[in-house]
Amino acid sequence: MLTIATANVNGIRAAFKRGMGPWIQTRTPDVLLLQEVRAPDEILSDFFPTSEWDLAHQESEFKGRAGVAIASRLPMSAVRIGLGSDVPGETGRWVEADLELPARDAAPARTLTVVSTYIHSGTVGTPSMEEKYAFLDRVTARLGELAEGGGLVVVAGDLNIAHRNVDIKNWKGNLKAAGFLPEERAYLDRWFDDLGWHDLGRELGGEGPGPYTWWSWRGKAFDTDSGWRIDYQLVTPDLADAAVAVDVDRAPSYDTRWSDHAPLVATYDL
């Protein structure tokens, strides 16, 4: 069994200060896909020593913002950073790695491609929405390439888009809000319906509502489970066939959270 977890950590230093370390020790994921790392390479390797983990990381050009990383107990044979763009605001949002799966019985070793991505949150009526759509176009193109290549691929992270009404508690009040706009949700429709990606959180997580993966730090959102499902593991059909479970590791209480997102953890029989 292989365990892959994705989590927006809201700053790796803050997450470890709040208790991410004990969660890793208990959960023992084989692969961690991280977003909003908000730290340079040397800080990341302090938390994930290279004696135990292979690391791939794209830091944002804006200090203290974004940043995506892959920490893997499996060896990496290749790393690809970014989506080939030097547009401001797009760094720290996409990193890929090819992982070498051990040989099983008489079968040869296989490659698993993993991606950690952090899509813009966006604000309606500001240039940040145009940046979000431009990045989503680049993501769509890359997803098309990865899907066409087949094999075992997982693209995971904080997409900052709730797909359906069951993916957001207060959907009626957010119909005109960034993260739930029809134009944003249409990208997910295309990824699932046209490109053939599988949304494991929904396929193995039940029909909903929820389970949600993000709750505001403010007010009683966490206590009343007024959340959004915006963290995903999207997989190719071959990998979907190997998925056996998906869990949202929601903290037991507000004061035990180490991020405003909960990790989304998938188990694969590989």
Name the percent of the chain lying above pLDDT 70. Answer: 97
Distances in whole angstroms, Cα of residue 42 to Cα of each of 13, 46, 146, 185: 12, 6, 30, 37
Relative to beta strand 110-118, strand 94-101 is: antiparallel
Least confident segment among 30-34, 119-123, 265-269 = 119-123
The answer on pLDDT for 220 being more than 90 is yes
Q: What is the pLDDT of residue 200?
A: 97
Q: What is the pLDDT of residue 61?
A: 82
Q: Which two tokens stand for residue 225?
A: 């489970």
Q: What is the pLDDT of residue 191?
A: 98
* Average model confidence (pLDDT) across the chain: 94
Q: What's the whole-number mean pLDDT along residues 103-108?
A: 71
Burial state string for 247-268 with b = 16 or more CB within 10 A and e = fewer than 16: bbebbeeeeebbbbbbbbbbbb
Q: How far apart are CA 6 and CA 25, in angstroms?
A: 15
Crossing angle of helices 127-149 and 182-189, in 10° steps, is 10
Task: Quote the DSSP letter at residue 224.
Answer: T
The answer on pLDDT for 107 being more than 90 is no
Task: Calculate ∠ Cα 77-78-83, nearest 5°.
Answer: 160
139-182 tens-digit pLDDT = 999 999 999 998 999 999 999 999 999 999 999 999 999 999 99
Short-list 74, 61, 86, 60, CA closest to 114: 74
* Residue partners of 188: CB distance under 8 A and separation at least 6: 159, 161, 163, 199
Q: What is the pLDDT of residue 75?
A: 95
Q: What's the whole-number mean pLDDT along residues 94-123?
A: 89
The answer on pLDDT for 74 being more than 80 is yes
The answer on pLDDT for 87 being more than 80 is no
Q: How far apart are CA 198 and CA 270, in angstroms?
A: 17
Is residue 114 within 8 Å of residue 31, measured between CB atoms? yes
Q: What is the pLDDT of residue 86?
A: 61
Is residue 4 within 8 Å of residue 29, measured between CB atoms? yes
Name the percent of the chain lying above pLDDT 90. Answer: 87
